[in-house]
A = this chain, B = another copy of it.
Amino acid sequence: MQLDRDVPLSTMERLPSYLRVIDSLLAHGMRAATSDVLAGRAGVTSVQFRKDMSLVGAVSGVRGSGYDLGALRGELRTAMGSSERIGFVIIGFGNLGRALASSPAFSRGGLDLLGMFDVAESAVGQEVAGVKVYHDEMLEAFVRDNNVSIAVIATPAEAAQLAADQAILGGAREILNFSPAALQVPETVEVRTIDLGAELQMLALHARSAR
């Protein structure tokens, strides 16, 4: 298996969901599956799936019969580089921050939640699944001292930019932003923004046009 550099971004984005499907099938005692089955469960077409495997350099497909799930899982993991562990923090201990902290999805795939941050005194000192809540003032130092790579921002819009600045100052290089603010960051920092309101708006759009 050869790890081609220059796999399309969109392909990489689908790998986690493929991995989840494979895990689920393995858990049901299956050892192999066709691209049709795998793709169906992941919500893509079989061609798309095969193309992705091809681009990623996976070779555990067997013509005429399908893919060996165990081998495929290994290949996808390698492709995703999931060996190294990555530390992250969550800023904002409101409902969303708590939801994220307790989400099982956040504790998989080599990711470690190292700390949470909030401005409210009532939040500071609390603990979720063994992870403590610190005061926002500590953010920069914490990020630096613990070699945190990713900052998840779950604060109100007004506080988002400041949180981002502190995290970046401490050395964070990736930001997952749940506030609707468009963050201003250096080019070297990767930002993904998930605007929950905008997502719902998109569906509303669809709902209206469907009449």
Q: Which residues of B contact A207 (CB under 8 A)?
A: 86, 149-150, 173-174
B contact residues around A176 at 8 Å (CB):
199-200, 203
Check A109 against B182 for contact (C-beta < 8 Å): no
Count identical subunits in the complex: 2
Chain B residues within 8 Å of A98, by CB: 95, 99
Interface size class of A (residues with CB under 8 A): 35 or more
Smallest Cβ-Cβ distance to A156: which chain B residue: B104
B81 & A209 in contact (Cβ 8 Å cutoff): yes
Q: Are A200 and B88 in contact (CB under 8 A)?
A: yes
Cβ of A196 within 8 Å of any chain B Cβ, yes or no, is yes
Question: Is A110 an interface position by the 8 A CB rule?
Answer: yes
Does A41 make an interface contact (CB < 8 A)? yes
Within 8 A of B (CB), among A167-207: 173-176, 180, 182-183, 190, 192-207
Neighbour of A202 across the interface among B13, B81, B106, CB < 8 A: B13
Q: Give which listed residue, B96, B109, B149, contacts A201 with CB less than 8 A.
A: B109
With an 8 A cutoff between CB atoms, is A160 at the interface?
Answer: no
Determine whether A152 belongs to the interface, using a CB cutoff of 8 Å to chain B: yes
Q: Given the complex, which residues of B lie within 8 Å of A209, measured CB to CB?
A: 81
Report yes or no: A199 in contact with B203, Cβ–Cβ below 8 A.
Answer: no
Chain B residue contacts of A174, Cβ below 8 A: 203-204, 206-207
Q: Which A residues are within 8 Å of any B CB, using their own CB?
A: 12-13, 16-17, 20-21, 41-43, 80-81, 84, 86, 88, 94-96, 98-100, 102-106, 108-111, 149-150, 152, 173-176, 180, 182-183, 190, 192-211
